[in-house]
A and B are shown apart, each in its own frame.
Chain A
């Protein structure tokens, strides 16, 4: 990591402490002051294997936050609960833990797609009051602030976001006769660029977009859903809660996939359906020079840093370029937005809730927040952080560019039916990847019948 600018570090610590202590004073309402209160115990649950890029990095970060927190609040005992397993296992475990008061974690970090679910079950406490005095929350872009907004109250706050853009290999594009820096303005230009790459370099993968069910619900968020977000009807779930199973936007998206795969422009299924976290494979492919363009999330850039090394590729900063993912017919960029959020259990006592909130404050301090972003592949939700060297110097220049792309992103829906819907669309994209002769319309009708069958006709709708 490049050295800090002089004087930043002491100011960071001072700033964090001031924020933390002032928020504690405000939030506690005078009930408990640091050092004067009785002993409080809180539990903090996080996913050990699927947030930070490597499990040891995660452990390092959480231990550091805990140490810092315990220094500031010696009367609080923190139990760090590192929940093992892949993301589905983590979610299962967390859901089961929330069921009983004795196992419910005081503070937990979970994907933003789960917020509405936990809130509707009554597991989460409203944070609106506590956030009133917080300086960092007000710096979130509105769209990220609203991530946890349900019925006028905030139930969860983001600790980091993923958004998506286009990565491209400058050398390969130049060889294919495409001008660099490249910024396509509509989908057709992406396809034609991929065709040119295929003509110039037949042995490499022209275009990578996640397809299939192997990567779980996240895979769609890093791939197909970003195209849908830029289509003419991006709606996935209507305001009444119905899932959209047929719309012009869906057809456009699946047609795009059909074009991509039937022309041999997409990645092989051996990579797309890979067991090992397919969304990260483009990092390795780019380094070996076998990939031209990829629709990828911001964390791909972090993979090339020394800390993460998935693989380590110092030349990435000059070899790869970033472009925003354009909308289908132009007029701006589109991307999905999903993150990991903190929530406080509704069964926590007042003292515990305060302690948990203070812990959140420490974790959201600038240094920790940016470190988490760097090591977990997130964009920090605090807007001003996007220009801080700690962030921009990590995975330069990509971090900064993804920060700039963040405002054009839109949130993914959060509901129980969403997981079924995602399975439907991922199966459709997987079918297109495996059997390219399938038309977009056929894949769409398969998805429609699957989701309708699973959820029932009253839960789905068609858009014109």
Chain B
């Protein structure tokens, strides 16, 4: 973990205990800096608790046999998970996977090409194109769904695969925007060197640009995945057959049942979040090292 020096007076943070240097007297942590540091950590901890609080119900109710909306000490049981990981609910999760993976792949591939092109090449109408991209990010989904439904129903496309294509379009502008910013930050010298070796565009992309901009591309791809994974209104209207519906529809159906099966809702929601958690863990390294959106980072 690369670290900035602490902005307090002259106290370098040691990164590992193994090579903690012996500090000269004037650089040892004073009482004042210790208290300051403790306060900061305490405030941070407090904020962390605040952020955790809403999630408490999710965890506690999912392992509670007799859950309700409240936070109470659970009657420990894994039966809720057993309920939700069977049959059609499990199938809904699988549908979510299909939807998200296909959508992300399409969006990321198309996005990388577009982002690279917009970043490196001089293209006519680049300004308006970029404006168009930003503009499309803000369009409300619920309005687009109706015309798209009419088109899809006319050609018999009301199923999971065409819906995945549409979902890719909904995250495409954002992804292009994110990726372009990252590619902007990648120095061009390596590319020029590759070109002098007569590398084709694809090769340049594959060997130079993508590896260097990988954190940004991964960030954008993850954004697209999370977008498609959590999409609700779109699959509700665009996917016809019941056995192709993804998980959010199942959760919503849970909610509208007269008898709220609180434990099952919590368990299923939790399970639904897990792939997203895993993705975060995998990419957390990329996030920390490479997140350079915005100012002052060219080169």
Contact = CB atoms under 8 A, between A and B. Distances in A.
Interface of A: 48-50, 53-55, 82, 84-86, 89, 92-93, 96, 99-100, 102-103, 275-277, 280, 284, 303, 309-311
Given A96-B149, A276-B257, 6 more contacts: A49-B256, A84-B245, A85-B253, A276-B259, A310-B258, A311-B259
Given A96-B149, A96-B153, A100-B153, A85 B258 contact: no
A276 B258 contact: yes
A277 B154 CA distance: 35
Contacts of A82: 242
Contacts of A103: 153
B252 interface: yes
10 contacts: A84-B253, A92-B237, A96-B237, A99-B153, A275-B255, A275-B260, A276-B257, A276-B260, A277-B256, A310-B259
Contacts of B286: none
B78 interface: no
B256 A86 contact: yes
B47 interface: no
Interface in B251-276: 252-253, 255-260
Contact of B252 (A85, A303, A309, A310): A85
Given A48-B242, A84-B245, A276-B260, A89 B255 contact: no
B93 to A, nearest CB: 16
A383 B237 CA distance: 39
Interface residues of B, number: 19
Contact of A303 (B146, B150, B156, B258): B258
B236 interface: yes
B35 to A, nearest CB: 44
A275 B251 CA distance: 13
A99 B256 CA distance: 27
A166 B237 CA distance: 38
B292 interface: no
A280 B253 CA distance: 16
Contacts, number: 57
B205 interface: no
A89 B236 contact: yes
Contacts of B154: 100
Contacts of B153: 96, 99-100, 102-103
Contacts of B249: 84-85
Contacts of B245: 84
Contacts of B236: 84-85, 89
B258 A277 contact: yes
Contacts of B259: 276, 280, 284, 309-311
Contacts of A99: 150, 153
Most buried by B among A55, A93, A276, A311: A276
A146 B177 CA distance: 59
B258 A55 contact: no
A89 B236 CA distance: 8
B260 to A, nearest CB: 4
Contacts of B258: 53, 276-277, 280, 303, 310
A426 to B, nearest CB: 17
Interface in B223-253: 236-237, 242, 245, 249, 252-253
Nearest to B154: A100
Given A84-B245, A93-B237, A49 B149 contact: no
B257 A49 contact: yes
Contacts of A310: 258-259
Contacts of B256: 49-50, 85-86, 276-277
Contacts of B237: 89, 92-93, 96
A89 to B, nearest CB: 6
Contacts of B255: 275-276
Contacts of B146: 96
A96 to B, nearest CB: 6
Contacts of A284: 259
B253 A49 contact: yes
